[in-house]
Copies of this chain bind each other. A is one copy, B any other.
């Protein structure tokens, strides 16, 4: 029979020659492709996954057959057979806050390039839903999990370890990573900001900060450094995570009530800082002459606020790419020597401080 005569153009057509059970999705399978190409299923499989282990002739015939049939590999079946799902899960508190967006975006892209797909899970800022979510994720047998700005429960760590799935923690630098880690020291950020403000001549420092764990670390560093420099904080305001422009405005209002003479405000996010800038404008208080404003994150808008926001730059993009690299390396079976990467941060001096 000539090759071109038995291309399965549709299931109905094929059903006339090949008996089909009532089960199954009814779509084209690798076996169909193999039949069209005139090779065995396993050769077709190799043509897709390890093309260099197949003769040039066989390769071409399989590729032909694929494009003629419109075959799309079933990765559920492939994952089941090979124990490599080519899925990676990312856990974030919420994607509503713009902080992790850059990281998630970079992660998605870098993984897609390597043929992996991202599964998104939002745990909320409460750890409660995390465990249920973890089960759903582990059930997919992902080749890796990226934890982004998550405080994970001990139970969660245990399950992750037990499942034997590579884990990358990001956006933090814990002393005891579960597996791999790419982040920076929040405490050192706080220290650097305090030192910057001090050396710029500010002495009446205050802080508006979210109530999440990492913001707390930055605050600790900030306060410790301030104390070491001989200045004490004149005010502090804790707002709930995720931060908003509104809570920044409210925070400044609160702060000015506490300490009308404040001359520099460190905000735990750029959004918060933008809120402070907004409230200052509404009150006709000039920044930075009346007081300085310092942000965190260097989000896209930071350079375009009025005045332009001085802030801490975190390379969320690099974090995402590095996390993807970690996962892919591990999934391909290569060993990783340096499992902890400190990407650091930098201070971007603009006009607000």
- Closest beta carbon of chain B to A246's beta carbon, Å: 4
The answer to whether A271 touches B121, judged by C-beta atoms less than 8 angstroms apart, is no
Pick from B96, B109, B136: contact of A115, CB under 8 Å: B136
- Closest beta carbon of chain B to A256's beta carbon, Å: 16
A76 CB–B CB distance under 8 Å = yes
Q: Cα distance A108–B124 when bound, in Å?
A: 11
- Closest beta carbon of chain B to A210's beta carbon, Å: 15
Q: A75-115: which have CB < 8 Å to B?
A: 75-77, 79-80, 83, 85, 87, 94-96, 98, 101-102, 104-105, 108-109, 112, 115
A118 and B117 contact, Cβ closer than 8 Å, known pairs A96-B105, A105-B94: no
Pick from B26, B73, B117: contact of A119, CB under 8 Å: B117
Q: Cα distance A101–B159 when bound, in Å?
A: 30
The answer to whether B27 touches A163, judged by C-beta atoms less than 8 angstroms apart, is yes
Residues of B within 8 A of A34 (CB): none
| Interface 0/1 of A227-253, CB less than 8 Å to B | 000000000000000001110010000
| Interface 0/1 of A291-315, CB less than 8 Å to B | 0000000001101111000000000
Q: Cα distance A22–B250 when bound, in Å?
A: 61
- Closest beta carbon of chain B to A136's beta carbon, Å: 6
A258 CB–B CB distance under 8 Å = no
- 13 cross-chain CB contacts under 8 A: A74-B80, A94-B105, A95-B105, A96-B101, A96-B300, A98-B98, A104-B120, A112-B122, A115-B136, A117-B140, A118-B120, A245-B301, A246-B301
Task: Given contacts A95-B108, A281-B281, list 18 more A-B pairs with CB under 8 A.
Answer: A25-B141, A70-B159, A72-B163, A74-B80, A76-B85, A95-B95, A96-B300, A105-B122, A112-B122, A117-B121, A117-B136, A118-B119, A244-B301, A245-B305, A246-B301, A246-B304, A274-B301, A275-B304
